[in-house]
Structure 1
């Protein structure tokens, strides 16, 4: 069953954050993920929206954890430090049988 990594971000230092955006996409691909949505969300209801949302799809939650905990990504996270506020969520996708 697919899993989805959802990152809500408000970046304050884009110049420093730029290195993170160069290094991470090849790692996502290496560990079996791919991006399915990225950008500034439209707030339809509620009080607040992050400035940016990134959603990546993974074969399963374990694949996403393997990426997140890999030495390569742990190193890449250093480029993100101090650049903004981030919330990271991981959720299982719905299986076809769940929908029926």
Structure 2
């Protein structure tokens, strides 16, 4: 079965409030057995005009598991904590 990935580019607008989101999203990732591959490390654009800010990549057991995480009660709590603290651009991708 192919893995599922969540890839997010986050523009943090309220760093203090964003700390609550990080706390709740970390708990949600753990509850859904996600492997955090990237979380806010250094970024250097090599081609194109994309200017990512804070990148997060999480690996899940399957595409369906990644989608279920996003809609879960645990992550909904994190999403509510993020309101007004960040602009999120997020995709779910099926791996190989």
TM-score (norm 1): 0.86
Give the 3 Å change call, closer, same or farther, for CA 82–40 of structure 1 in structure 2.
Answer: farther
Aligned to 2:8: 7
Contact 1:40–1:50 (8 Å) recurs in 2: no
Runs of 4 or more above 2 Å deviation: none
Matched, 1:91 2:90: no
SS of alignment partner, residue 24 of structure 1: helix
Unaligned runs of 5+ in 2: none
SS of alignment partner, residue 67 of structure 1: helix
Matched, 1:63 2:65: yes
Contact 1:20–1:76 (8 Å) recurs in 2: yes
TM-score (norm 2): 0.89
Q: What is the alpha-carbon root mean square deviation over aligned residues?
A: 1.2
Aligned to 1:97: none
Aligned to 1:98: none
SS of alignment partner, residue 59 of structure 2: strand
Aligned to 1:81: 83
Give the 3 Å change call, closer, same or farther, for CA 11–90 of structure 1 in structure 2.
Answer: same
Aligned to 2:27: 26
Rg larger in 1 or in 2?
A: 1
SS of alignment partner, residue 47 of structure 1: coil
In the alignment of these two chains, the number of paired residues is 94
